Amino acid sequence: MPVPKLCLFAVVLALLTGSGVPALAVSEFEERALQLRESVLLRVEPRLPRPTAQRAGNNRRYPWKTNIVTTVFWVGELPTQNNPVPNTKSSWDTEWVHNFGGYDDPDASGRRGYIPARFIPRQNPFYIALPYNDVTLGRTKPEAPRVIPWFRDEFERAGKTVCKSRWLVVRHRGREAYAQWEDCGPFRTDHWQYVFGNQRPLPNLNQGAGLDISPAVRDYLGMKGKDVADWRFVEFKEVPRGPWAQYGDNNDFVQQRRRTDVRFAESGTRPDAKPATSN
């Protein structure tokens, strides 16, 4: 249901003045912000026809998408002529910059290894965007159960994405980087026939780009601002350890370490303790 302009004004006013804001009003405001971002994306590219009964990607071994024009994007990126949608928010997170920890500076002078120089990221700096969103206007898209291979395994409730933070591998000149899906683009949010099927990316302002990568992925693979790469989805159990395993509340590796630390803390045993030996 549309949020009345008066309600939105009241929420913004309360945020600016520091007064209390009911949780429901904040939720409505965040949903409206995501809807506005979605509407901008839809104006950039027309919506594709509704899917037919075709089912995409119904096996768990995901094929490579090869020779995909790849561009670089980053958390906090402002709009440009060839990228009219700002990345202060993602398709799934109205507070992306805050939740990431700050501006993911793409310039070499602003980086330390694979992370920003000024802060430790609170989310995995190895992230990507693909041109599909399984949720629109707060609702799960009707084709999502049919076209997303892992939908049945991951679905929790209507309106909650099953795509966010999914792992994939990006390959460039024989080198592979692993990353998590954290936003939608370039340009489109409805091209499931490419993301999960056999179609190629559609024409757009960036020479038909079909994959956005973060500065960390770019640097690890030695890619340019616009380049060509291959990619495919992977299950988490297929992901080897690497620099993509170090940071982030959304990172499965980090979550595993935290669960292990909790178990050892509860048992009173240090993780690095050696077993006792008898004399």
- Judge if 35 and 118 occupy the same domain: no
- The domain that holds 261 is classified in CATH as 2.40.40.10
- Judge if 25 and 109 occupy the same domain: no
- Determine the Cα–Cα distance for residues 241 and 34; give it in Å rounded to an integer: 33
- Judge if 252 and 116 occupy the same domain: yes
Domain annotation covers residue 158: yes
Region 74-78: mean pLDDT is 96
Cβ proximity of 164 and 157 under 8 Å: no
- Judge if 160 and 31 occupy the same domain: no
Handedness of CA 221, 227, 228, 234 (dihedral sign): positive
- Judge if 250 and 143 occupy the same domain: yes
Give pLDDT, residue 262: 83
- Judge if 77 and 32 occupy the same domain: no
- Judge if 64 and 157 occupy the same domain: yes
Predicted confidence band of residue 234 (pLDDT cuts 50, 70, 90): very high
Predicted confidence band of residue 61 (pLDDT cuts 50, 70, 90): confident
Region 20-47: mean pLDDT is 54
Looking up tokens 């995909």 gives 68
- Judge if 37 and 83 occupy the same domain: no
**Buried-exposed string 122-160: b where 16+ CB fall within 10 A, e elsewhere:** bbbbbbbbbbbbbbbeeebbebbebbbbebeeebeeeee
**Is the pLDDT at 252 greater than 90, yes or no?**
yes
Domain annotation covers residue 278: no
Number of domains observed in the structure of the chain? 2
Domain annotation covers residue 9: yes
Domain extent at residue 25: 1-44
Give pLDDT, residue 79: 84
Selected residue with higher pLDDT from 20 and 193: 193
What does the mean pLDDT of the chain come to? Answer: 84
- Judge if 185 and 80 occupy the same domain: yes
**Buried-exposed string 19-31: b where 16+ CB fall within 10 A, e elsewhere:** eebeeebeebbee
Domain annotation covers residue 220: yes
Q: How many percent of the chain have pLDDT more than 70?
A: 73
Domain annotation covers residue 115: yes
- Judge if 16 and 64 occupy the same domain: no
Domain annotation covers residue 168: yes
Give pLDDT, residue 86: 85
Region 193-218: mean pLDDT is 96
- Judge if 17 and 117 occupy the same domain: no
Give pLDDT, residue 80: 78
Give pLDDT, residue 272: 58
The token duo for 207 is 């020479």
- Judge if 31 and 163 occupy the same domain: no
pLDDT tens-digit map of 126-160 = 999 999 999 999 999 999 999 999 999 999 999 99
Give pLDDT, residue 28: 61
pLDDT tens-digit map of 91-125 = 999 999 999 999 999 999 999 999 999 999 999 99
